[in-house]
């Protein structure tokens, strides 16, 4: 009986903890659907040929994107993968700074137009060149790891409780002896 109460308590606790959510939300995931729902498309343009720029090479995506390694007075190891117009970031692209900040979305003549910039778990949402939302999000990968650890820990605890329950015997003492439920025996106190 006691074991059932313990198992019920542990399962209830796991259910409550597993259902908890923090006040943070996930960082917006920028993909074509997000861009279509959030941004107005830029006017059609013919991207620069990557080979014309000495710091870029043609991307393997065949969409006119370039892989660019940027080394200038502002950054040491920044990179940009996306389309260019007149030597500037323009259209769909991903910029990664030398500190690891990432902006993914649309660029308009070198300016962030519509997308999300992340720095660790902090993010800023840009629309028409302005920040419209800032926040701190959760990393979906870390959420899955935490949930997995919680479930595995719960299974281990339940397994240990079940094992402990198998070794536990309910002994009821009476005036002239006791009853042991493990072996279904009554033992007299008189020898």
Which long-range contacts link 104-113 to residues 24+ away (Cβ below 8 Å)?
104/30, 105/30, 105/35, 105/39, 106/35, 106/39, 106/42, 107/82, 108/42, 109/85, 113/39, 113/42
The SS3 call for residue 135 is strand
| Distance linking the first and last C-alpha atoms of the chain | 31
Q: Is the pLDDT of residue 135 over 60?
A: yes
What's the whole-number mean pLDDT along residues 77-106? Answer: 89
Tens of pLDDT, residue by residue over 113-133, are 999 999 988 999 999 999 999
User: Residues with Cβ < 8 Å from 71, sequence gap 6 or more?
Assistant: 55, 77, 78
Laid out side by side, the sheet with 171-174 consists of 171-174, 177-180, 185-188
Other C-beta atoms closer than 10 Å to the C-beta of 178 total 13
Q: What is the pTM of this model?
A: 0.56
Q: Is the pLDDT of residue 154 over 50?
A: yes
Give bridge partners of residue 138 from the DSSP assignment.
26
> Alpha-carbon distance 78 to 67, whole Å?
11
Residue 85 near residue 45, CB atoms below 8 Å: yes
User: What is the predicted pLDDT for the residue at 106?
Assistant: 95
């Amino acid at each position: 009986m006691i074991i059932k109460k313990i198992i019920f308590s542990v399962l209830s606790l796991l259910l409550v903890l597993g259902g908890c959510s923090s006040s943070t939300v996930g960082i917006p995931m920028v993909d074509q659907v997000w861009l279509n729902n959030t941004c107005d498309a830029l006017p059609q343009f013919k991207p620069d040929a990557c080979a014309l720029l000495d710091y870029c090479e043609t991307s393997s995506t065949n969409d006119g994107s370039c892989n660019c390694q940027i080394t200038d007075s502002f950054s040491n190891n920044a990179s940009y993968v996306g389309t260019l117009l007149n030597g500037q970031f323009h259209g769909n692209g991903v910029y990664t700074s030398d500190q690891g900040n990432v902006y993914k979305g649309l660029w308009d003549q070198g300016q962030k137009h519509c997308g999300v910039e992340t720095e660790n778990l902090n993010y800023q949402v840009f629309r028409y060149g302005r920040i419209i939302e800032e926040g701190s999000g959760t990393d979906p990968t870390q959420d899955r790891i935490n949930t997995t650890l919680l479930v595995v820990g719960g299974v281990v605890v339940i397994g240990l409780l079940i094992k402990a329950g198998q070794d536990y015997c309910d002994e009821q003492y009476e005036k002239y002896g006791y009853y042991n439920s493990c072996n279904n025996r009554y033992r007299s106190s008189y020898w």
